[in-house]
Amino acid sequence: MGQFPFDPSYGYSLTDLLAVEPPPEPDGFAPFWGARYRHALTVEPGLRLQASSVALPGFRVQEMEYRSTDAFPIRGWLLTPLSQPARMALMLGHGYGGIEAPPGDLPRGDAVYLVPCFRGLSRSRRPPISTDPNWHVLHDIHSRDRYILGGCVEDVWTGVSALLGLFPELAGHIGYCGISFGGGIGAMALAWDQRIGRGHLNVPSFGHQPLRLRLPTTGSGAAVQRFDRAKGKALATLAYFDAAVAARHIRQPMHVAAAVFDPAVAPPGQFAVYNAIPGDKRLYVLEAGHFEYPGRARQERELLAELRGFLAPL
């Protein structure tokens, strides 16, 4: 499939992919993330809502803004079902291309949806952070404590706090669904936040950072590789932002859609995330990710149907 100067399957069979193990956990990994999570819980999100011009069948759409860590304003949308009571709340994490409107292909009609734009991207853009993924992914990469991916994980945690402030009756009924960038961020967030009861990760990024630095790729991964070739110090930070290492700490039931062919997020990294999850987990194998292929529409329909059932226990 496709014309690339490298093989986006990387020579891995499905059996090979299911055998990829996450890299070792760096020293102080759990304390590092535990301290960040505890700090995020001290933030009062101050959720604000206003009418939106966006229309989605079956939902009231509002523009929203809440305060994350570092007083960063996170903007996006809140979707509330019109014709039935909300049984659950779902937070949606977008890909690195950003998001300009809430998605219409939603897995549940009985859910409230919080759709944030991660810091620096789309409606949460703020100079000097670049909205270009090739530069956003490098923002403060020299500092483990300031690297922007950590702030994006905190945007999930403060978003959960915002949801609970608005819908306290939905405590214990919150899920997370993230794709690509939002999938990797979701793995790092779910590892520490038990307020989120179930999670779905679709072609998750940031899995197995040593492989991500080594395997040829396109997009933001290539930008990180160029930086590492020039500076040689990326892994000192990236080891603490590895979705596969974080996935070892996930205790919630999980659903993962991982691709066997993907030019932008190498499949071994995606499967490293799935393989690392220690408990209840389900896998949907995609023929490809970040790539148009003949069976894509069918697979997306099948995946949506699976998610409808997977999320039902919330």
- Which candidate, 101, 115, 98, places its Cα nearest to that of 163? 115
Round to whole Å and give the CA distance between 144 and 107.
35
What tokens does 179 get? 């794709």
- Residues 143-193: tens digit of each pLDDT: 999 999 999 999 999 999 999 999 999 999 999 999 999 999 999 999 999
Q: What is the pLDDT of residue 239?
A: 98
Is residue 166 domain-resident?
Answer: yes
| pTM exceeding the 0.95 threshold for the entire prediction | yes
Is residue 125 domain-resident?
Answer: yes
Is residue 182 domain-resident?
Answer: yes
* Mean per-residue pLDDT, 272-298: 97
> Domain of 294?
14-311
Is residue 3 domain-resident?
Answer: no
Is residue 210 domain-resident?
Answer: yes
Q: What is the pLDDT of residue 219?
A: 87
Indicate the angle between helix axes 148-166 and 29-40, nearest 10 degrees: 40
- Which candidate, 164, 162, 156, 81, places its Cα nearest to that of 117? 156
Is residue 1 domain-resident?
Answer: no
3-class SS at 273?
Answer: helix
Full DSSP string of 200-224: EEES-SS-SHHHHHHS---HHHHHH
The strand pair at 88-93 and 174-179 is best described as parallel
* Mean per-residue pLDDT, 239-259: 98
First to last CA, the chain: 38
Phi, psi of 19 (to 5 degrees): -105, 0
- Which candidate, 98, 147, 157, 149, places its Cα nearest to that of 124? 98
- Provide the domain count of the chain: 1
Is residue 101 domain-resident?
Answer: yes
Residue 1 has pLDDT above 90, yes or no: no
140-114-219 Cα angle (round to 5): 40
CATH number at 176 reads 3.40.50.1820
Q: What is the pLDDT of residue 95?
A: 97
Is residue 39 domain-resident?
Answer: yes
3-class SS at 272?
Answer: helix
Round to whole Å and give the CA distance between 168 and 133.
35
Residue 17 has pLDDT above 90, yes or no: yes
